[in-house]
Structure 1
């Protein structure tokens, strides 16, 4: 009797994941996400190091990142409506194919020694436009492919492999740049994006909404419906407001800060940066795996925000990093916190949202959170230009984020009444 009971949870977990792995449409999405995750992680670290080392423009790094995020903010709500009107797999396939062509063009310009900061800014802007249509379709597609009770585990499985991609991507990019060339690393990125597009196009699940009168309504009327819908759900409003401040105080300082701290404080190379980014991804893999095992169903808002508070507290110590191993340990722990929070919070939103509104709600949530990312990048760039050290910027932004999250946990009644 004892032996049977001891093995029961393991059997249940196998059945749950087995159900997902026997879902052919989910498998296509899952494998495609691996290629997409690899391409993104390789591209981002390559672009960052190209600005720092090839273009010798560290103070302009924030501007390049800002140019990518501005179109996302302006167009993502429209992208969400399109995700509810057009077959989502087609949207993902078109955006990834176009990305592949853009990166291939970027590689050819580098090969001809024609790439400069202004052209890179144009590429960043175009990537931002494509992101505005890719992310709402990508985020709203998974709930249409799996059962409601499988959403948390499906997200966990996708996030685990995505973080494995983010773990290996920077290392691949680091070695390709150090022992190869920027041309080679961008061609590799282009090939991965084309592979992802081919796999996504194989999905035959009827994720296109039924063709009723709603399909004939103007885009902005459907967008207004999405806004009204979000206003009726207090948790969605709270999540949007919280994510604004988290992205304002976390994204800019960390994304711009890590490359600069490696380059200026640690005097490291691209491999040092790849080790730090991979350690963050390793922590996120561990967090995603842990979430999949635990399948957290209770007090998710409280757990999510508490982990963000721990993450911001770890960043306080990260700002004082003096050795590579110091950063690796802190970022690994931060990755665990970030991963668990990034799985359970969106999973709750997906469970609470009607499928017909999924694209619009996801785009509005993303727009709200990303709306302050350009401002975050701009503020960090301005502070750096004024002579403020990056370690001080990370320190004070992390302290501010810790205080903010703890205040929300203390004052908000909504998060205490939802599981």
Structure 2
């Protein structure tokens, strides 16, 4: 039953994330091709990111109180309805600016609930010793949708029109909701711990999540470390197109770079999908951050495209490892009745680094040599991870909380 639950969860995740990726590409193409508005593109991305951040800070107590499974189901069902309505509107009209912004705000908020609920439900699906495997399978599924989604979206827009593409996306969400209904998340291997949530207010629950992070300094330091390291790591995604342009005017070189990164991440995910990580220490996470940042900084020292691809592949490997380590550490260290609150806060702070990185490095490209920017991105991660390593060694690594 436990293995079956995890399988249904991963398939539902695949369908839902595939819908997300295809939707993002289809809407981006619609704005660029039909509306032809760079301002609207920026406004849509900004509203999406802002609503995701705000909802991420606030959604945790609701997920802990009501249940992660319900919010997974609601998130996909609401998205299915929204996308279907957009398809119907497109048959007769051009979608207006206001509608696109409203949809972006809704999607951003729903993303926050869905991500937090996904992280919170995992410890209820498998025993603690199998958490790293489930996290690896989840990471692999998400990375696979990121690779396949744009290809499928491009084919759909060319072959069956934007309206029919949106209907297909809605169907993906509906299939995901169907699978979620049959997931048993009633703690088949854990005692039900609700921490008397029914006797407390929403705001006291919210304060409890923040106070837990404040008390657990090592987890708080991890969140801060993630924020600054991710600025460098996300900044690299802004720099890659310019790196490829320096090599050749052929767009396929950018594809090679992204493919190398994805293959590295996928390989790590596949390895740890069948091999459990029995002990996760903060020191290992910080060392992984350090290696990732060193790989990024090293990109400034080579002009050879083959060596660049090797470095990017290794960065992808380490990124995949980090993507498995962090959720496993948090799920083992945070009491299950607080996971929604803690995960949502961590997600909001971590995701805030993306627009910050995009702005800083996007503007900097116009003024600085791209080699220096790779070095700066890597140096930021190196300094941050080394500082966190020193703090961790001085204070001692906290033991994982037994749930």
TM-score bracket, shorter-length normalisation: 0.7 to 0.9
Map of 2:348 onto structure 1: 367
> Could you tell me how far 1:143 is from its partner in structure 2?
0.4
> Could you tell me how far 1:195 is from its partner in structure 2?
1.3
Kindly tell me: are residues 35 and 382 of structure 1, through their superposed partners in 2, closer, same or farther at Cα, counting changes over 3 Å? same
Tell me, in whole angstroms, the C-alpha distance in 1 between the residues paired with 2:21 and 2:52. Answer: 18
Map of 1:6 onto structure 2: none
Question: What secondary structure, in the 3-state scheme, does the structure 2 residue paired with 1:304 have?
Answer: helix
* Residues 72 and 128, structure 1, Cα contact 8 Å, conserved in 2: yes
Tell me, in whole angstroms, the C-alpha distance in 1 between the residues paired with 2:371 and 2:158. Answer: 26
Map of 1:13 onto structure 2: none
> Could you tell me how far 1:66 is from its partner in structure 2?
2.8
Tell me, in whole angstroms, the C-alpha distance in 2 between the residues paired with 1:164 and 1:26. Answer: 17
Q: Does 1:348 align with 2:310?
A: no
Kindly provide the CA deviation profile for residues 292-322 of structure 1, in whole angstroms up to 9, marking residues without a partner as x.
4553345642332333333334444668998
Kindly tell me: are residues 306 and 69 of structure 1, through their superposed partners in 2, closer, same or farther at Cα, counting changes over 3 Å? same
* Residues 312 and 398, structure 1, Cα contact 8 Å, conserved in 2: yes
Map of 2:231 onto structure 1: 248
Kindly tell me: are residues 294 and 89 of structure 1, through their superposed partners in 2, closer, same or farther at Cα, counting changes over 3 Å? closer
Q: Does 1:41 align with 2:21?
A: yes
> Could you tell me how far 1:412 is from its partner in structure 2?
3.6
Map of 2:214 onto structure 1: 231
Tell me, in whole angstroms, the C-alpha distance in 2 between the residues paired with 1:377 and 1:194. Answer: 33
Tell me, in whole angstroms, the C-alpha distance in 2 between the residues paired with 1:112 and 1:266. Answer: 43
Question: What secondary structure, in the 3-state scheme, does the structure 1 residue paired with 2:168 have?
Answer: helix
Map of 1:281 onto structure 2: 262
Q: Gaps (5+ residues) in structure 2?
A: none
Kindly tell me: are residues 113 and 267 of structure 1, through their superposed partners in 2, closer, same or farther at Cα, counting changes over 3 Å? farther
Map of 2:128 onto structure 1: 148
* Residues 139 and 362, structure 1, Cα contact 8 Å, conserved in 2: yes
> Could you tell me how far 1:173 is from its partner in structure 2?
2.5
Q: TM-score, normalised by structure 1?
A: 0.79
> Could you tell me how far 1:196 is from its partner in structure 2?
1.0
Map of 1:333 onto structure 2: 314
> Could you tell me how far 1:187 is from its partner in structure 2?
3.4
Question: What secondary structure, in the 3-state scheme, does the structure 2 residue paired with 1:215 have?
Answer: helix
* Residues 266 and 323, structure 1, Cα contact 8 Å, conserved in 2: no
Q: Does 1:176 align with 2:120?
A: no
Tell me, in whole angstroms, the C-alpha distance in 1 between the residues paired with 2:40 and 2:360. Answer: 12
Tell me, in whole angstroms, the C-alpha distance in 1 between the residues paired with 2:214 and 2:301. Answer: 41
The two structures, once aligned, show a CA RMSD in angstroms of 3.7
> Could you tell me how far 1:348 is from its partner in structure 2?
1.0
Q: Does 1:114 align with 2:97?
A: no
**Which aligned pairs between 1:23-172 and structure 2 lie closer than 5 A?**
23-51=3-31, 55-56=35-36, 63-108=43-88, 114-115=94-95, 119-172=99-152
Map of 1:198 onto structure 2: 178
Tell me, in whole angstroms, the C-alpha distance in 2 between the residues paired with 1:99 and 1:167. Answer: 21
Tell me, in whole angstroms, the C-alpha distance in 1 between the residues paired with 2:164 and 2:241. Answer: 21
* Residues 266 and 324, structure 1, Cα contact 8 Å, conserved in 2: no
How many correspondences in the alignment? 396
Map of 1:4 onto structure 2: none
* Residues 29 and 199, structure 1, Cα contact 8 Å, conserved in 2: yes
Tell me, in whole angstroms, the C-alpha distance in 1 between the residues paired with 2:130 and 2:339. Answer: 17
